[in-house]
Amino acid sequence: MKNLIKQIKDDNEKSVKKAIEYFHKQLKESQELTITEKHTLNRKTPYKNNRTTQVENRLKDIALKELQIKLDKITSVNNALDTLQNDLVLTINFTKNATWGYCPKGNDNYGHKTDSISGCGYCKESTATGQLLSQNDIILKKMYKVMNKPSNLKKGSRESLGYGSGYGILPSFSGGVGVSCHIGILEKLGYKVTQSGNDTTTILVISEK
């Protein structure tokens, strides 16, 4: 995962630099409370002393915390098993809601689950499967290994793994993209996927080939 880690650190450094430059641009335009202070730092009033230094330090602290979360995730994924020990079975149950129609709620046989997914205007079914799959470090490990290749880091997760694999450096399973997109990604990773169910239940069985 060395290439992935290096890319994350490089991007984090660029992001901090860009945020600080943006803050300085705002200061030139107005000495009032800047957008960065209002929305990124949740400030109500400017810092009393060493305002610029304190804002820069806070932006660096926030970026460092975000970086550490990503690095911890890579460590967790890297420590996961290389293969599924048993078939992964996702079960999505739909329950009728007076406001939102049929709302899915998912679980799997590896102990992962989702809350009931409400709303309208998007694919709730794939939001459920995406949430379950993104909790499985064994599957994420295969995705991370694909993205650890320098050529794939340049292309991005969508081009390397398929539509529905996230937008950031660390790939995951996006919601609202359609279950077929998730199946396509899994098959590209080398899994066999079987889909079954009825009007109120969807079942995906994911197996090692």
Spatial CA neighbour of 37 closest among 21, 50, 29, 26: 26
- Which tens digits make up the pLDDT trace of 80-102? 999 999 999 999 999 999 999 99
Bridge partners (DSSP) of residue 114 are none
d(CA 106, CA 109): 11
DSSP letter assigned to residue 194: E
181-to-125, 132, 177, 194 alpha-carbon distances in Å:
12, 14, 6, 14
What's the predicted TM-score (pTM) here? 0.88
How confident is the model at residue 32, as a pLDDT?
Answer: 84
Query: Per-residue confidence at 37, pLDDT binned at 50, 70, 90?
Result: very high
